[in-house]
Structure 1
Amino acid sequence: MTAADAGTEREPEPHRVVVLAVDEVIGYDLHIPPQVFGAAGQGRYDVRICGVDDQPVRLTAGYTAVLDHGPEALATADTVIIPGTRVRGPRWHGTLPDALAGALARIPPHARLMSICTGAFVLGAAGLLDGRRATTHWAHAEQFRRLYPQVLLDENVLFVDDGTVLTSAGLAAGTDLCLHVVRRDHGSEVANRAARYCVVPPWRDGGQSQFIDRPLPDPEAGSTAATREWALRHLGDVLDVPTLAAHASMSLRTFSRRFRAETGLTPRAWLIQQRVQHARHLLETTDLTVDRVAAEAGLGTAASLRQHLNSAIGVSPLAYRRTFAIPSSRSR
């Protein structure tokens, strides 16, 4: 490439995210995508909010918003996000109003689809979740199953990444999903910076099962929080459930029950999740061999790391490093 060619090289276009505000939209959900994707910085994302038509959109918080864009913005989208909504057809009858169907028809075939909370009802009514794994707010799971039995609903998780279609649980889980997408697009370092700016955790343990209404645990029974914090500092050590229970000074049965009540995960599943997260961080920020990364993360061998990483995000350690390694880490 000549100097002249280099001088005319264009910066890559930002990824266009279009948020579709359907009438009776949940205001909390509506504002998550521009905040989180905006916090990714460096013009990585261009976020626009549009309506089903050119009319103002009603929010459940008791006010009406005039939007800068109409449904034509959907045709330019790389990602389309549908926030929670109380729109009558999808929420109560399993039907899709003509205007909403027309707006969805504008979405390009290549676009990634996302929903927050009850936005999944819109994707369900459009048939876009048929045969796919998905989630929505746990309080509306029974209604969702009744309307869309062909969807593989899991109300116990914070979000579901099914490739080109992603869904999240209620409200704050929309933040978890958007951070996951930033992490998937640009790696953990960028996602962590965005989380710090938004003053939210970059990753929340467990699923929404921990938030489902249930009797409060006995306060005298203690908590597993201190043991979880200790385990995070010793991921490379030999850790098993009896070791964790002993650290918490609990019987194995009590510890396992308490742990699941607090995190929504079994101790073993939580350990694997944390080790995979640590391995991803090491792959991004160091030039350690895959064998060494596996050992440091407590996953044992490169084969074990490969299996767990592929199960979690569908790629091998080397492929993940090629995509997300921070350039300066390669010289360390």
Structure 2
Amino acid sequence: MAYWWFQGLIFTGLWVIGHECGHGAFSEDKRLCDAIGFIIHSLLWTPYFSWRISHHRHHMNHASMEKDEVYTPKTREDLGIPSCAEKIDWDENFGDTPIYTLYMLLRQQLFAFEAYLLWNVSGQKSYPEGTNHFNPSSILFDPSQRTAVIISNIGLLCTTTLVCYLSSRFGFLTVVKFYGIPWVLVTHWFVMITYLHHTDPKLPHYRQSMWNFQRGAAATIDRDFLGWQGRFFLHDVAHFHVIHHFFPRMSWYNGEEATRYLRNAIGEYYQRSEKPAFQALWDNYNFCQFVDNEGDMVFYRDKKGKTIMEYTK
């Protein structure tokens, strides 16, 4: 168990290095960034170039209801919930038992990233059915980017070949023990980190009439994620995430110092939570259900339609 815990964190830290490479924050040499990022992400079952393309658009459109690539909130209309003026049976919409809620949360933690890559689950709702990160002709990519998508797919094919060889050489269960389970934990940690970055009752989402880059960049939250282990193994990816949205090409090791200046600059618009990460995951998963169909700035509502934040002009 201890091996799986720490190897999962180490693998996740490597994934974060690949993420930094995708932003060009690892080195000034773009080719070096892409080479390292491609190798690391391929070995961790992530299509590096395909993910990098959509991830850049996420940063350029963060917290936009119309254009953000991922973690776009569901609306009342998406869930079939009537307007505020009508009588609503909230238990009919959200009357799940805690056991079922836990099951759904575990499903998210273990499969959400793969579902996003394969089927655009939690992605931009305006994309057509069948959108994915593996089809070079997907709406996610311009024609000039299709070669990069194919290279990403080849990287995953090479990893598949390597895993099959190691399984035949050392045994399937041995590969699962030393590689498979830690990789599953990478998915868990990565989904948990990104979900908590972008899903919180205090964080706004904007419609296009009000959205701009600065507002979108500030619509995320820093967290004390796993204490020293999060800082050491995960390279401060959760501790200093707000600054990353303002300056995505800034290297992670400058995050703490830069955050002090950013916090002074944006004041009350800077968000940080000291709530323990697993408690925040459970609380936010239960609270953050949907946003209103209308409004220039919207906040999550809970299972009773209540919100802790309201935008008033």
Give yes or no for TM over 0.5: no
Q: Which has the larger radius of gyration?
A: 1
Give the structure-2-normalised TM-score.
Answer: 0.24
TM-score (ref. length: structure 1): 0.23
More relative contact order, 1 or 2 (CA 8 Å, 6+ apart):
2
Larger relative strand fraction: 1
- Between Structure 1 and Structure 2, the one with more helix by share is 2
